[in-house]
Structure 1
Amino acid sequence: MRTIDLFLIEGSYRAADNGVVVELFGKTRDGTALVARYYGFRPYFVLLEPAADVLDRLRADPEVVDIQPTPVWLGGRERSGARITIRSPWKVPEYRDRLRLPGDEPNVLACDIPFVHRFLYDKHVGLTLTLDVEDEPDSIRSLYALENVVRVVSEEGQDIRPAEAFRPPLRTLSFDIENAIRERTIFTICGVAEGGGRERRTFRFGDRDEKKILERFVEFVLEDDPDVITGYNIAGYDIPLLQERALVHGLELRIGRDRTTPRDMGERLWRVTGRVIADAWWWAHRELRPKQETLQFVARMLLADSKLDVDRRNISAEWEKDPDRVMEYCEHDADLALRILQRLRSIDRGADLATVAHLPLEEGLNGRTSLFIDALLIPRADAEHVGVPPTHRLRREAAIEGGYVHTIRPGIYRWVVVLDFKSMYPSIIISQNICFTTLSDRGTNVSPTGARFLSADVRPGLIPGILRELLADRDRFRALSRNAPSTETRQYYDGLQNAVKVLMNSFYGVLASSFYRFTNKSIGAAITSFAREQITSIIRALEADGHEVVYSDTDSVFIRAPEPTFEGAKAFGEAIAARFTKENVAFEFQSVYESFFSHGAKKRYVGRQVWPREELVVRGYETRRSDSFEYQSQALMEVFDLVLKGDTDGLLRRSRELVLAVRQKQVLPAQLVIARSVRAEEEYNEGTRAALPFLRVFKQLQSEGYDVIPGMKVAWIVTNSHVSPQEIEPWIDGRPFTKEPDWEYYAERVAQTLARVTEVFDWDARALLQGTHQQRLGHSAASTPDRSDQAPATLDTPIAEIAGPKKRRTSTRSLSEWD
């Protein structure tokens, strides 16, 4: 027997010894790949207040191994229950459905927890664990595509246990496929494998016999033995294509470490036992939110590199002409995908989440938020005998009222300070002891909505306890990052504290959702009501002291500093933070804006931040939206720069020039590309599908052989907006665009966008298009009363006080002169 530490990549199970064996695939500290087999752990579920005849039938059932009474806390009180242990995890759904009683309250509990997760929860282990092991015999080793197959020794007083965190070197294989568009026949599979402490390898498999290509690919995967498999959109295109073509030839793609084939888990997720599928497209989509999602666009944006010049639409002809060139192209695509995954630090980020949530790497890379919350919450619920209901979806109800958003008056403001609550929702949950275990009519913590929660001295809530620990972990990781001896160590602790932040902020989301097992709308509404009360009380106090609150959104407050200097603003922000910070509630001074602008719409503003770092901050406008086109965003940024400088004359002149440039066709077509994500066709109304430009582009690209899938963005240019539906042309980065854009359509869109700013100075979209300023109807010079006794507008005068009858007149001077 020997003791090893294991970094858990993926977990699985299989039938064995009239029961089941848990398989733990991972790597040791020295990078050795192995599978550790754990015998004797059985699946179970809990019955709430079971009838005697039900228990009698279960005792007579040969599948049932054990029945033990257990207390269950559910619905605000402790009740009787029975823990039912059976032989086979795959039979739990059958028992759940058979034993379920009608009604809103679940009577079958803890019945939909993945078996491997249940094992990890009960053993209190996660990403890294310590095992006492013995080698398995050859008959067992032959089941796996691994040399190292061990049995976990679990005797009385000796069992699996947590290990100190470590990150072994992981091997990643990236691949790409080129195939005939209509026939779907694979021409070549190419790729690269690197990492894991071994040399980099490339491969190119091309043959007239498609079956041989598939066989060679499977052989390479098993021989190279990667921990992670990637590529660009492999979950949506390449893996399904491999499965499809293997079926044609009667092959099975046994690339799992247990020699099993890939399994489609739905929603772009594939599982390969013992390995992790990490789609580079999905990570680019999630982390970058690029305006276009083709490999070409993302590679240029992130890597300053691009695909090679091969015509994908005519790939069959390209293959016949020069197969070596096509294989070079294919291998290069695989290399780009690998570099994208590395640049985004996707594997490290997945490991960070897995570390904090105590889950395998596979879940850290591909898991949902509710899965992470389960991993933190269910073990705590089990320890306190709190019933764990199955995941369910509530019927559609009115949405929970969200955070408070303070009305912002249009205009430009100088020297604005921003403060916000540190982890506002988690702090409220902790301070008010908010949890599904503390919701009670007897509670003394009363929310503005009327929901009541027991105080922590009566019954400490599960969720507040978890959040306290996460807050402490975050502070600890932050301190370790500050004192880190190397960049690599600092990145490690920064990743962990960011993972903690993500999980802390996720609790409110799942509690207020309609699909989580512990969902409760009254809890979600209580949290936001406490938040609104907290933020509005601060706003009232500030305004009572004569301070101007410019804007507020959920957990942040924007206040104009009384002393219009950087030093005055900074001192003011620090004083406000100190004044409103209380025990368990930190009101933090975040930033100083030298100038700040909004046209008066909620959640839309732009500011020139000068502290803690200098940058232009834009929220809500088209520069932040992925479906805006590049020229639109660039034009708006130019205008923002001018308005924040107070250059009204330059602002209006430049806005007109930017619109005119589109009309005069001085803009490159690449700057006019519109992009949008596409859902599955059946999710759109059948009567309107033909009119949806993104859906038409999606279908055209599919017909041309491009590997687009639902959830991916497609791009196009409008060529004629005067017909219905609009005439459009797909945009493929790197492919020549031969059509003529509808210049007038784009000019109007740019004018409408810029008018969000210029309307504050009485220039609307029509004025920008026509190039002349039109006085508003009924506001001629003769009909406008003389208000010469009023001061002209200043740099900080909101538009509500500038234009219109009974309003202050607009000065004829530029904003730069007004101060």
Structure 2
Amino acid sequence: LHPWIAVLDFKSMYPSIMIGNNVCYTTRIDPSHPEQPAEADPTHVSPTEAVFWSAEHRKGLVPTLLEDLMNQRDEHKAQIKLARKDEQAEKEEFHDSMQYAVKIMMNSFYGVFASGFYRFTHKDLGSSITAWARQNIKTIIQKLEDEGHHVVYSDTDSIFVCSPVPEGSPSVLKEDDDEATIAAYEGAKQAMIDFGLDIAKQYSRDSAVLEYEKGLSVFFSHGAKKRYVGQVVYPSEEMLIRGYETQRTDSFEYLTTSMKKTFTYALADEGEALVQHARECVASLKNHSVDARRLILAKSCKGRVQSNGEVDFTKDYARPESMAQVRAAMILIDRGLGFTPGMKISYVVTDASKRPMQVHPWIEAEDDGGIPGYDGRFYAERMAAALGRITEAFGWNAKELFEGNRQTTLFSF
């Protein structure tokens, strides 16, 4: 659990590397080509020792296109700020969608360069870009740590670094906190913001532009890479969740809600309350005290509607009878409720002990969705597995959550 974390993000990292180092099929210097650089000619040498002409000698086609796209994205992002300021939600949504579309286009250039099917590419291009990216991250982390700043987490293009806020500053506010505590919290928040902006400016350079993306009052991470949660307080206020089941499309509402509540306890450093909440959530499923509506799973279902009105699932699934969403769809079809290829099928697991496991579609028009009951053990195991990834940091694993008690060992004392 880390308080007051500044999250620094490399602006369009791969496109920036390609622009800054003039990476392109048209600029790669082939050792076997007659045209070789003189000693004084400016070039870019990647960490993999691939060599590219500088833009002064020959501007690459792809870097030229990327520069234009990056300028377009910057313009859309500027328009987002103006629309937000003027409270023009529709305009803000339009420019946000546009900047995201441009971002996808920019990132696709790396994917093409790193592929094996594109005619105008070479293995040096993709490997050089990723090597420069790793070098950028490692260089910034080393510089930060040399200055005494603790980097608590990093991934492909982001760095999470502890901010130097006044000692003893609270990172979580409670309803009954006095004015002095609130003032200390706000002071720490401003110190983090100033630190993040300063670090981004100090360490930015060509092909590695840092942006102060967000500030967290508290950050929780353990175990697997890219699995963390934090309370964002700048530039907006929201809970940041990555790598947990709340982000998965095959989750169910009760699990998502329970996890978010668990995260609230984690960020407040209330370990005992967190474990107690997790145990209660698992127990409520084992006891069948949760409304089945909160346990709905939903998956897209393919299929081909034949000329006679029947649906053929065998062309899309090798073993359609083993797919839960297909069996739920078959029940809907048998009841004459209709089926559209690609539609989301909502269903509840009624018996996971059988093979294939038994499911029933959720039918909104029927009482209780037409569900005869649900498999409490199946859902409790799913809940314990998900919450166990959090509670293991507080001494409770998934098995212990499911059983509702923890085995005492010599190491417990």
Structure-2-length-normalised TM-score: 0.80
Contact 1:438 1:461 in 2 (8 A): yes
**C-alpha distance 521-667 of structure 1, shift in aligned 2 (>3 A):** farther
Name the counterpart of 1:551: 153
After superposition, the C-alpha distances for 1:58-81 in whole angstroms (9 at most, x for unaligned) are xxxxxxxxxxxxxxxxxxxxxxxx
* 1:749 aligned onto 2:351: no
Cα distance in 2, alignment partners of residues 515 and 677 from structure 1: 30
Cα distance in 1, alignment partners of residues 340 and 138 from structure 2: 47
Count of residue correspondences: 367
Contact 2:301 2:326 in 1 (8 A): yes
Contact 2:360 2:371 in 1 (8 A): no
Please, which of 457, 474, 478 is the counterpart of residue 73 of structure 2? Answer: 474
Please, which of 575, 587, 606 is the counterpart of residue 210 of structure 2? Answer: 587
After superposition, the C-alpha distances for 1:650-694 in whole angstroms (9 at most, x for unaligned) are 1111111111111221211111112233456557774x5433323
Q: CA deviation at 1:539?
A: 1.1
**C-alpha distance 750-496 of structure 1, shift in aligned 2 (>3 A):** closer
Contact 1:698 1:708 in 2 (8 A): no
After superposition, the C-alpha distances for 1:170-226 in whole angstroms (9 at most, x for unaligned) are xxxxxxxxxxxxxxxxxxxxxxxxxxxxxxxxxxxxxxxxxxxxxxxxxxxxxxxxx
Cα distance in 1, alignment partners of residues 216 and 82 from structure 2: 30
Q: CA deviation at 1:540?
A: 1.7
Q: CA deviation at 1:699?
A: 4.4
* 1:420 aligned onto 2:13: no
* 1:696 aligned onto 2:327: yes
Name the counterpart of 1:603: 226
Cα distance in 1, alignment partners of residues 227 and 145 from structure 2: 22
Name the counterpart of 1:405: none
Cα distance in 1, alignment partners of residues 119 and 364 from structure 2: 44
Name the counterpart of 2:362: 731
Q: CA deviation at 1:478?
A: 4.2
Cα distance in 2, alignment partners of residues 469 and 716 from structure 1: 47
Contact 1:720 1:742 in 2 (8 A): yes
Name the counterpart of 1:429: 18
Name the counterpart of 2:285: 662
Cα distance in 1, alignment partners of residues 64 and 408 from structure 2: 62
* 1:671 aligned onto 2:294: yes
Which residue type is aligned with residue 562 of structure 1? P
Larger radius of gyration: 1
Please, which of 313, 325, 340 is the counterpart of residue 708 of structure 1? Answer: 340
Task: Describe how 1:215-254 pairs up with structure 2 within 5 A.
Answer: none
More strand by share: 1
**C-alpha distance 516-730 of structure 1, shift in aligned 2 (>3 A):** farther
**C-alpha distance 697-540 of structure 1, shift in aligned 2 (>3 A):** same
* 1:538 aligned onto 2:170: no
After superposition, the C-alpha distances for 1:429-451 in whole angstroms (9 at most, x for unaligned) are 10111112222325742323343
Cα distance in 1, alignment partners of residues 350 and 58 from structure 2: 65
Cα distance in 2, alignment partners of residues 516 and 700 from structure 1: 45
Contact 2:217 2:231 in 1 (8 A): yes
Q: Give the gaps of 5 or more residues in structure 1.
A: 1-411, 782-819
More helix by share: 2
Which residue type is aligned with residue 714 of structure 1? I
Partner of 1:779: helix, strand, or coil? helix
Q: CA deviation at 1:455?
A: 1.9
Name the counterpart of 1:740: 373
**C-alpha distance 438-595 of structure 1, shift in aligned 2 (>3 A):** same
Partner of 2:370: helix, strand, or coil? coil
Name the counterpart of 2:108: 506
Which residue type is aligned with residue 459 of structure 1? R
Which residue type is aligned with residue 407 of structure 2? Q
Cα distance in 2, alignment partners of residues 551 and 734 from structure 1: 48
The percent of aligned pairs where both chains have the same amino acid is: 41
**C-alpha distance 674-453 of structure 1, shift in aligned 2 (>3 A):** same
Q: CA deviation at 1:499?
A: 3.5
Which residue type is aligned with residue 720 of structure 1? D
After superposition, the C-alpha distances for 1:463-505 in whole angstroms (9 at most, x for unaligned) are 1001111222333444456557893666655554444333223
**C-alpha distance 580-665 of structure 1, shift in aligned 2 (>3 A):** same
Task: Describe how 1:330-479 pairs up with structure 2 within 5 A.
Answer: 412-441=1-30, 442=36, 444-479=43-78
Larger deviation, residues 495-504 vs 455-464:
495-504
Task: Describe how 1:183-332 pairs up with structure 2 within 5 A.
Answer: none
